[in-house]
Amino acid sequence: MQIPENEEKIISDYIDLSIYIDASENLLEEWFLTRFKCLLDINKDNPNNFFYHWAHIPLDESIDYAKKVWRTVNLVNLRDYIVPTKERANIILYKDVGHRVTSIKIRKY
């Protein structure tokens, strides 16, 4: 498939099957913070790890940092670059609190 230079190129045009895994922004933030706390614990004794510093300051300061990263980086990327691909996906899996798939949407193609 060739696309003229002046037309938009969408990566999904080159993929046979795409799967989008969806969850609410609140759940995604919760999972991010849970993973962050886990990484603090795992790396508290590893001074060569990025999380070492954050594991050795007050937890509320570390969590505030993680929330800022969520708001200014991850949430921006989610809204600007990931969510717009959802409606082009062939399959959408909806996840809930326990990471269980609660429903599946299959787009006819």
Whether the CA torsion 98, 100, 105, 109 is positive or negative: it is: positive
| Token pair of 102 as six digits | 């609660």
Residues 49 and 42: their CA atoms lie apart, in Å, by 10
pTM above 0.85, yes or no: no
Q: Tell me the pLDDT tens digit for each residue of 13-32.
A: 778 899 999 999 999 999 99
Per-residue pLDDT tens digits for 36-77: 999 999 999 999 999 999 999 999 999 999 999 999 999 999
With H, G, I as helix, E, B as strand and everything else as coil, classify residue 95.
strand
Cβ(85)–Cβ(7) below 8 Å:
no
Confidence (pLDDT) at 109: 62
Q: How does pLDDT run across 69-93, given as a tens digit for each residue? A: 999 999 999 999 999 999 999 999 9
pLDDT of residue 8: 73
Please determine, for residue 10, whether its predicted confidence score (pLDDT) is greater than 80: no
Smallest CA-to-CA distance from 68 within 54, 80, 81 is with 54
Residue 2 has pLDDT above 70, yes or no: no
